[in-house]
Amino acid sequence: MGLNRRDFFKYMAVAGATVAGSERSAHAWQSRAPSDPYGCLVDLTRCIGCRKCEEACNRVNALPAPDRSFEDLTLLDKKRRPDERAYTVVNRYVSGEIDKRDQLVPTFVKLQCMHCQDPACVSACIAVALTKKENGAVHYDVTKCIGCRYCMVACPFEIPAYEYHDPITPRVMKCTFCYERVESEKKLPGCAEICPVEAITFGRRKDLIKVARQRIKKNPGRYIDHVYGEKEVGGTSWMYLSGVPFEKLGLNALPEKPMPQLAETIQHSLFSYLWSPIVLFGMLGGVMWASKDKSDRAGNGGRSGNGKEGDYKGRML
């Protein structure tokens, strides 16, 4: 009975090969970010919390009517998240700072899909339902979606929402960056168009970074010296400027490494050209062949013993 040492080493060699593959260094991960995407710069020092962006978003995307009117500004104090009925929401934060009239100075934070340069959701999607478009939008194609919700697991901003109450044809719901409006109709995203104070600046991402840097430089007292989204998770198409530290506004610190990098590197180094399965297959075949010969010699083989298949049959049946 039992396992002799040699067999064990054979087995270990196989396991070792698998391990070695997965441990191979992150040599050639390539970003697939578009070179010159559009983006939006949200200047939180400008936002007045009027919720017009929510209203415009609801209108241009034909989303269901909200439970409470967009003119109801009391909702701002609830810490809401974008959901399957609202691609964007505005929340009010107070840092404790008080203005000349003894009023708390509010900071309004608009939330929506950040349209990452290297989106985790796109990398994760099982069926290419999510894609990063050249114009910067992370686009969702419902016709390919199977509803696995891996995109929602992957998203570092916890943005994609799901129509959990639709039994047969639920959709992943998230900001579209008004893909059709921007791409075909050459219009602005609904929220950027309606914003009364240009808290949302629409433009090429690289121009926006310049604009943001310029605003900070021109008015260093007004801004935190950080463009949120410039580097976070490898860069996002939507970026933020703020006068209050971002961590206090629900905009968490995130690594600069793109989210998909590690998983993609491992997958790529293990499975490019399916080399490791093929090698493993060959090794196992060799081991099988060798052990068959040996067991034949030892006389405990199958009844027929004329080749693998007969051998197998004898043992199995």
Partner 1 sequence: MTRTGPGVILTITAALAGILFSTPALAANPSPAETAAPEKVVWTAPDQEEAEKRAEEVVPFVEAVMDECRLCRQQRLRDVGLSVKDQSESYFLLNSPIIRKTEDHYGPVRFMHAKHAGVTKDCALCHHYRPLDETASETTRCSACHQEPFNKDHPERLGLKAAYHQQCMGCHQEMDKGPIDCAGCHRKNVPDHKDLIQLAANPEPFEVTSECLRCHKPAGEDMLKSAHWLWKGPSPYTLHHRKEVELGKATIATNNF
Partner 2 sequence: MTHHAAPVKAKFWTPGVVVLAFLMAAGAAAIIARFIGGIGYVSNLTTARPWGLWIGVDVASGVALAAGGFTTAFLAHIIGRHYYEPVVRPALLTAMLGYTFVVLGLMVDIGRSWAIWKPMLYWNPTSVLFEVAMCVMFYLNVLYLEFLPIVVERFKGGVNLPGPLAALNGPIDGLLKLADTILPKMMWFFIIAGVVLSCMHQSSLGSLMLIAPTKLHPLWYTPILPLLFLTSAIAVGYPMVVFEATLATKSLKLDSEMKLLTPLTRFTIFLLGLYLALKVGDIVVRGTYVYLLDFTAQTNAFLIEMVFGVIVPWLMLLSPKLRRSRQALFIACTMIVGGVLVNRINVFVVGYRPPISEANYFPAIGEILVTVGLIAALMFVYRFIVTYLPVLNKPEQEVSA
Given partner 2, partner 1, none, residue 169, with its beta carbon under 5 to 8 Å by kind, binds: partner 2
Total residues at the site for partner 2 (CB under 8 A)? 82
CB atoms within 10 A of CB 25: 7
Which residue's CB is nearer to partner 2, number 8 or number 77?
A: 8
49 class by beta-carbon count within 10 Å (0-12 exposed, 13-18 middle, 19+ buried) = middle
Contact, 125 vs 150, CB < 8 A? yes
Selected binder of partner 2 within 24, 149, 204, 213 (CB under 8 A): 149
Strand 130-132 to 138-140 pairing: antiparallel
30 class by beta-carbon count within 10 Å (0-12 exposed, 13-18 middle, 19+ buried) = exposed
CB atoms within 10 A of CB 150: 16
Residues of span 157-186 touching partner 1 by CB under 8 A: none
Judged by CB under 8 A, does residue 317 bind partner 2? yes
Selected binder of partner 1 within 210, 303, 308, 313 (CB under 8 A): 210
The contact mask relative to partner 1 for 41-60 (x = CB under 8 A, - = no) is: -----x-x-x----------
Which residue's CB is nearer to partner 1, number 140 or number 179?
A: 179
Q: Closest approach of Cβ 202 to partner 1, in Å? A: 5
Tell me which residue has tokens 């104090």.
Answer: 77
Judged by CB under 8 A, does residue 196 bind partner 1? yes
The contact mask relative to partner 2 for 262-291 (x = CB under 8 A, - = no) is: xxx-xx--xx----xx--xx--xx-xx--x
Within the chain, strands assigned E span 38-43, 89-98, 104-111, 130-132, 138-140, 161-162, 172-173, 200-204, 238-241
Q: Which stretch binds partner 1 (CB under 8 A): 80-88, 199-207, 239-247, 251-259?
A: 199-207
Residues of this chain that interact with partner 1 (CB under 8 A) are 46, 48, 50, 68-69, 100-101, 188, 192-198, 201-204, 207, 210-211, 214-215
